[in-house]
Amino acid sequence: MQPQADPFIVPKCLDEINILFRDKHILVIDKPSGLLSLSGKHPLNIDSVHYRLVQDYPTCTLIHRLDFGTSGIMLLAMNKQINALLCKQFSERRVSKRYTALLHGDLEPDSGLVDCGIAKDVDNFPLMKLCQDTGKPAQSQFRVISRFIQTDNDNFFLDDTRVGHRHVTRVEFEPVTGRTHQLRLHSQHLGHPILGCDLYATDEAYFMSSRLMLHASRLCFEHPVSAVPMIMESKSPF
């Protein structure tokens, strides 16, 4: 875990929220990296997805969250009734999600399932930890998309003397469950942490990127009113 300031003040996010779909029931957006999903307790951490969107859509509520550093698709409800219907889909695991990530090193094999429970690390808040005995069940499917060597000209990569091993694997994750920090921890469990991860990556993997290389690229759910299958996609920026 990288050193954290106390209190932690989020750097200002200048990127805008892109709206992918909107009707009178739901709102689907593309969250930029570096923006909180929900405003923090500190008054300087007020900027967030929810804070920005309620200015135009006062009754909207988050159905789920993405970590501060994660970019990509988020789903919001326009009222409490729709919120309840969508949350029911999530709790019944009728929603499928796909993430794109860049991992440190050459991941083998080309595909697989990580099945390892996750629990709160009570001695190291806000960290979570892998724990089969007391952790909640957590499963993530993965598939390798490509393997490559980082160059100093690549977008988002840092030219840092602390970086030596520059092999990178691009993967797609499909989480079966939705535990806090699940993909970060399961990547660590594979021995190939997500680049730019300040919580679970090695120093080398952390300093290889100026942001967390994790993007929510696909979200599939059923429209809560029309029951039409909704397939929302967002191209990874890396």
Residue 41, judged by CB atoms within 10 A of its CB (0-12, 13-18, 19+), counts as exposed
Do the domain assignments include residue 2?
no
Do the domain assignments include residue 46?
yes
Do the domain assignments include residue 136?
yes
Do the domain assignments include residue 12?
no
3-class secondary structure, 183: helix
pLDDT given for residue 161 in this prediction: 53
pLDDT given for residue 125 in this prediction: 84
pLDDT given for residue 159 in this prediction: 57
Domain containing 138: what range? 18-233
pLDDT given for residue 236 in this prediction: 98
pLDDT given for residue 4 in this prediction: 73
pLDDT given for residue 66 in this prediction: 98
Nearest to 218 by CA among 99, 95, 101, 111: 99
Do the domain assignments include residue 194?
yes
3-class secondary structure, 98: strand
pLDDT given for residue 157 in this prediction: 72
Amino acid 127 reads L
Nearest to 71 by CA among 13, 23, 141: 13
- Blockwise average pLDDT, block size 10, the chain, 238 residues: 79 97 99 98 96 98 98 99 98 98 97 98 93 95 96 65 75 98 98 97 95 99 99 98
pLDDT given for residue 158 in this prediction: 67
Q: Among this protein's residues, is 67 annotated catalytic? A: yes
Query: How far is C-alpha 224 from the geometric centre of its chain's CA atoms?
Result: 24
Do the domain assignments include residue 157?
yes
CA 5 → CA 11, 207, 234, distances in Å?
12, 18, 32
pTM: 0.94
| Token representation of residue 226 | 């029309």
| Token representation of residue 212 | 């967390």
pLDDT given for residue 128 in this prediction: 97
pLDDT given for residue 152 in this prediction: 65
- CATH assignment at residue 166: 3.30.2350.10
Catalytic residue of the set 15, 56, 67, 110: 67
Query: How far is C-alpha 225 from the geometric centre of its chain's CA atoms?
Result: 27
Domain count of the chain? Answer: 1
Helical ranges in the chain per DSSP H: 49-53, 80-91, 182-189, 203-207
